[in-house]
Amino acid sequence: MGAIAIDKTGNPLPQETIEACFNCDAVLFGAIGHPKYDNNPAAKVRPEQGLLQLRKALQLFANIRPVNTYTALHHLSPLKAKLLQDVDFVIFRELTGGIYFGNKYLSEDALTAVDECVYTVSEIERIARLAFQYAEKPERKQKITLIDKANVLETSRLWRSVVQNIANEYPHITVEYLYVDNAAMQIIQNPKQFDVVLTENMFGDIISDEASVLSGSLGLLPSASLGSGIGLFEPIHGSYTQAAGKDIANPVGSILSAAMLLDYLQLHNEAQLVRDAVAWTIDNKFVSKDIDAINFYFTSTIGDLVADFIANNNTSSANAQNIEWRKSTII
Ligand code: IPM
Ligand code: MG
């Protein structure tokens, strides 16, 4: 799917790709987008449409984006380390509604364009309930922040009233409401305050890229998209075509997406092992070029290391050998 599918078939999401996805329990997705479409507003067909159609076809209404930081990478963030310690929040982004999927229209004289933002109560309820259920897990801080623009937008006011109603069923959960402009500021100023962040499609797209700055690189963050059966797991970043063929892209967002996929399949120990493997590569500075432009490792080396760590079931002797051997292969 995406640009290559447009080149081959004219369609960013060919029917056989949708069918292949429908025959799976879960889909691990790479990244989408191609620069040849970025500055061509006249393009009628775009790679991203494939992803949007796939989200719609699989009814993936909930996009879950965990944001945390690694102490070893605090120096990469433009924020001070003291602001980053203990940052651990999860964005619940609505994924199949709002301005992304409303009617789009360009007038015949091309002087007026319209994108409608539409939400129904049931669309808001289903993701809000997932967020509340998640927030009440014992390991969470029992707090939800709804990000909206209720001072301006009718859809946001609907979000607020639906969330207020559901909040009555969860008296033990603290619910806060933030306007998106204020939230954009707070994510940078005091990111520790967040636990579960609930928001609509477009705001979630924007604040999740912003939140990736906390972890140090957009290449690190995974996501899970859930709906009515088949889950889709993808890094939050788009395509990185400048890296094509160079073996330098950061694989961590994708690998952690695979960990979320394992969790989805109830393989929780395996998922944890993948996360431990990633943490181990980062702690030992086996990082890609976006993280360390001088002492970096190739994407495939990091992938092999993660695979070795998992195959050896995290035995420290195997890891020690790996470290020595891998350090000798440093680029
Ligand atoms: C994301 C991406 C997509 C989105 C693009 C590629 C259509 O930015 O998953 O955040 O806007 O949803
Ligand atoms: Mg995005």
pLDDT by residue (tens digit) across 125-168? 999 999 999 999 999 999 999 999 999 999 999 999 999 999 99
CA angle in degrees (0–180, nearest 5) for 246-247-251 = 140
- Six-digit token string for 310: 């998992």
- For the CA of 33, the nearest atom of ligand 1: 6
209 is catalytic: yes
Would you place residue 112 in the very low, low, confident or very high pLDDT band (cuts 50, 70, 90)? very high
d(CA 260, CA 272): 9
- Name which of 198, 226, 201 is nearest 97 in CA terms: 201
- For the CA of 234, the nearest atom of ligand 1: 9
Catalytic choice (148, 205, 263, 290): 205
The pLDDT tens digits of the residues spanning 295-310 come to 999 999 999 999 989 9
Q: Is the pLDDT of residue 331 over 50?
A: no
Specify the pLDDT at position 216: 87
Q: Is 146 in the pocket of ligand 1 (CB under 6 A)?
A: no
Mutate-to-test residue for ligand 1 from 13, 205, 233, 237, highest number of ligand atoms within 8 A of CB: 205
Q: Is 2 in the pocket of ligand 1 (CB under 6 A)?
A: no
Q: Is 238 in the pocket of ligand 1 (CB under 6 A)?
A: yes
**Once rounded to an integer, what is the mean pLDDT over residues 11-29?**
96
Alpha helices in 11-146 (DSSP H): 15-22, 35-38, 47-57, 81-84, 121-135
Q: Is 292 in the pocket of ligand 1 (CB under 6 A)?
A: no
DSSP, res 184: H
Of residues 250 and 324, more confidence is placed in 250
Q: Is the pLDDT of residue 319 over 70?
A: no
The pLDDT tens digits of the residues spanning 52-62 come to 999 999 999 99
Q: Is 66 in the pocket of ligand 1 (CB under 6 A)?
A: no
d(CA 208, CA 258): 19
Mutate-to-test residue for ligand 1 from 46, 49, 51, highest number of ligand atoms within 8 A of CB: 51
Collect contacts of 1-6 with beta carbons under 8 A, ≥24 apart. Answer: 1/32, 1/47, 1/50, 1/51, 1/54, 2/32, 2/33, 2/34, 2/47, 2/50, 2/51, 2/239, 3/32, 3/33, 3/34, 3/36, 3/37, 3/47, 5/47, 5/50, 6/45, 6/47
Model confidence pTM above 0.85: yes
Q: Is the pLDDT of residue 42 over 90?
A: no
Q: Is 95 in the pocket of ligand 1 (CB under 6 A)?
A: no
Q: Is the pLDDT of residue 43 over 90?
A: no
DSSP lists the bridge partners of residue 105 as 114
Beta-carbon contacts of 236 under 8 Å, excluding residues fewer than 6 positions away, are: 65, 208, 209, 212, 218, 221, 222, 223, 253
The pLDDT tens digits of the residues spanning 265-284 come to 999 999 999 999 999 999 99
205 is catalytic: yes
Q: Cα(329) to centroid of ligand 2, in Å?
A: 35
Alpha helices in 150-251 (DSSP H): 154-169, 180-189, 201-215
Q: Cα(212) to centroid of ligand 1, in Å?
A: 14
Specify the pLDDT at position 320: 58
d(CA 187, CA 195): 11
Q: Cα(209) to centroid of ligand 2, in Å?
A: 6
Catalytic choice (70, 119, 148, 149): 149
